[in-house]
Amino acid sequence: GAVVSQHPSWVICKSGTSVKIECRSLDFQATTMFWYRQFPKQSLMLMATSNEGSKATYEQGVEKDKFLINHASLTLSTLTVTSAHPEDSSFYICSANKGSYNEQFFGPGTRLTVL
């Protein structure tokens, strides 16, 4: 399989601050990565599709100015939660497709807690 990493694995921040989460494909190049948010006991909700070298595609209802996505290289996508509030506390997971394979490889997730 392929390996996707995320950093940090958990973060606690104060309300109003910004938090950056990194997603890396370690052994393959990913032109497309996906960012999900998962609240407790709920499903994975796609936030946006991150495309290398171009703007991300956001799902309906996701504020692009609040959740900034940058996919500057074929192995790294970042999600920045700006002006975080307690309601942004959640489990954020990224994933990537390896080449033309259908399987999505998920990162280990980042648990964000906003105080």
Residues that bind another protein (CB under 8 A): 31-32, 34, 41-46, 49, 91, 93, 97, 99-104, 106-109, 111
Using the minimum distance from each CB to another protein, give the nearer residue, 3 or 15.
3
Using the minimum distance from each CB to another protein, give the nearer residue, 42 or 73.
42
Least Å distance between CB 85 and another protein?
A: 23
Please state, in angstroms and rounded to a whole number, the distance separating the CA atoms of residues 85 and 55.
25
The answer to whether the beta carbons of residues 58 and 68 sit under 8 Å apart is: no
Using the minimum distance from each CB to another protein, give the nearer residue, 78 or 97.
97
